Amino acid sequence: MSGDRESELFQAVTINLFGAAWAAMGKVPNPMTGKIERDLGIARLTIDTLTALEVRTRGNRTPDEDKLFERVLADLRLNYLDEVKKGEVAKSESGPEPEATA
C-alpha cells in the first residue's frame, strides 16, 4: 500500500471518529438512527480516543495529518465544553432536585 493511500485511510479514520463525537454531542443526527442523540460520555470517550491516536502517532504523521488532528481536536474540545456548560445551565434553570420523602 502506498504512503498516500495509508495517509488517506488514516485521515478517514480521524474524520469518522470526529463525526462520531459530533453526533454523540447531539450536534448532528446519529447516522444509524437519523435522530439527534446526546451522550456526552460517548463523546468524551471518542475525544479521548482521538487524543490517544494523536499522542501515539506523534512524529510519524505528515504535515496534513498534523493539521487535521490540530483542527479536529480543538473543535471537539471546544464544542464538548460548550455542551457540558449547556447541561449545567439547564440543571440550574430547572431548579433544585426534589428531595425524596420517606
What residue has cell string 504512503?
3
Structure confidence by residue, pLDDT tens digits, 79-94: 999 999 988 777 666 6
54, three cell numbers: 494523536
Three-class DSSP category at 65: helix
Q: Is residue 34's pLDDT more than 50?
A: yes
Q: Is residue 3's pLDDT more than 80?
A: no
Domain boundaries, the chain: 3-89
Number of H helices, E strands in the chain: 3, 0
Closest C-alpha among 38, 22, 20 to residue 90:
38
Percentage above 90 pLDDT, the chain = 77
Q: Global pTM?
A: 0.83
Angle between helix 40-57 and 3-24 (nearest 10): 160
Look up residue 34 and give its DSSP letter.
Answer: S
